[in-house]
């Protein structure tokens, strides 16, 4: 199957990347418990703003027809790719913070993210966790309290979220490497609070053309646009 072939290529490419970046990963691991830094528990292996290359496996995987069709079907329209990267999370001893706390992503009516496990993920690896029914198509309209009322993102802890969605309805993204998770991150979610194991995953995100979320990659002056109409649209500005 094409999807299996692309996953194998993605996994091999990331394994090679991790080997090439071994010194940088070691430094990031050593700084993971820095309480002053922003998301020191997470290293984006492609950098903060990778150069958009439609021929790279990181873009081709996102634009694979089954994935793109799910994104378009969820939105009910053609979507655009606004983010892709590879996350390497490190175990920490610190309390949950930043994206390890419950939050919603801003920028569009829907925000469909795709998470692909490149390592086995159990509870000790800080799995992605979702509060069922809190997405725009769900029935939960109450909002949890915020641990900091001055925080623009208004992050919440577990006790605050439990008053809105029972913990039994929290969905944990646990699974072996190769697991794929689709989630509308306009709903409440958290993840990456690894306590025992590293977590490596590929992430990409789709939005509507009207999104206010900026592209999280750089564009060269000219790029090779796929011939497929939906794929070409996904890469349009």
Per-residue model confidence (pLDDT) at position 222: 80
pLDDT per position as a tens digit, 132-172: 999 999 999 999 999 998 888 899 999 999 999 999 999 99
Q: CB neighbours (10 Å) of residue 5?
A: 9
In degrees and rounded to multiples of 5, residue 178 shows phi and psi of 100, -15
- In a domain, residue 236? The reply is no
Supply the pTM of this predicted model. 0.95
Per-residue model confidence (pLDDT) at position 2: 61
Q: What is the CATH number of the domain that holds 200?
A: 2.60.120.620
> In the structure encoding, which two tokens stand for residue 28, read together?
């990031």
- In a domain, residue 237? The reply is no
The answer on pLDDT for 203 being more than 50 is yes
- In a domain, residue 217? The reply is no
pLDDT per position as a tens digit, 95-142: 999 999 999 999 999 999 999 999 999 999 999 999 999 999 999 999
Give the range of the structural domain holding residue 195, as residue numbers without chain letter: 2-209
Per-residue model confidence (pLDDT) at position 91: 98
Q: CB neighbours (10 Å) of residue 52?
A: 18
The answer on pLDDT for 4 being more than 80 is no
Give the total number of structural domains in the chain: 1
- In a domain, residue 184? The reply is yes
Give yes or no for a contact between 30 and 88, defined as CB atoms under 8 angstroms apart. Answer: no
- In a domain, residue 231? The reply is no
């Amino acid at each position: 199957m094409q999807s299996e072939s692309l996953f194998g290529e993605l996994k091999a490419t990331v394994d090679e990347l991790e080997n090439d970046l071994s010194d940088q990963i070691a430094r990031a691991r050593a700084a993971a418990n820095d309480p002053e830094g922003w998301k020191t528990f997470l290293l984006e292996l492609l950098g903060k703003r990778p150069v958009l290359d439609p021929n790279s496996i990181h873009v081709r995987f996102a634009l694979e027809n089954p994935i793109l069709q799910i994104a378009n079907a969820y939105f009910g329209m053609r979507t655009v790719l606004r983010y892709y990267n590879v996350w390497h999370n490190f175990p920490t001893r610190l309390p949950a913070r930043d994206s390890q706390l419950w939050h919603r992503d801003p920028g569009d009516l829907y925000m469909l993210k795709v998470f692909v496990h490149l390592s086995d993920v159990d509870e000790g690896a800080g799995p992605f966790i979702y509060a069922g029914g809190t997405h725009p198509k769900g029935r939960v309209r109450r909002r949890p309290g915020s641990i900091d009322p001055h925080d623009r993102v208004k992050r919440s802890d577990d006790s605050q979220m439990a008053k809105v969605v029972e913990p039994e309805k929290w969905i944990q993204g646990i699974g072996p490497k190769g697991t794929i998770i689709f989630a509308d991150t306009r709903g409440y979610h958290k993840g990456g609070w690894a306590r025992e194991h590293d977590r490596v995953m590929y992430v990409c995100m789709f939005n509507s053309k009207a999104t206010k979320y900026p592209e999280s990659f750089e564009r060269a002056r000219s790029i090779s646009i796929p011939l497929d109409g939906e794929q070409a649209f996904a890469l349009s500005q």
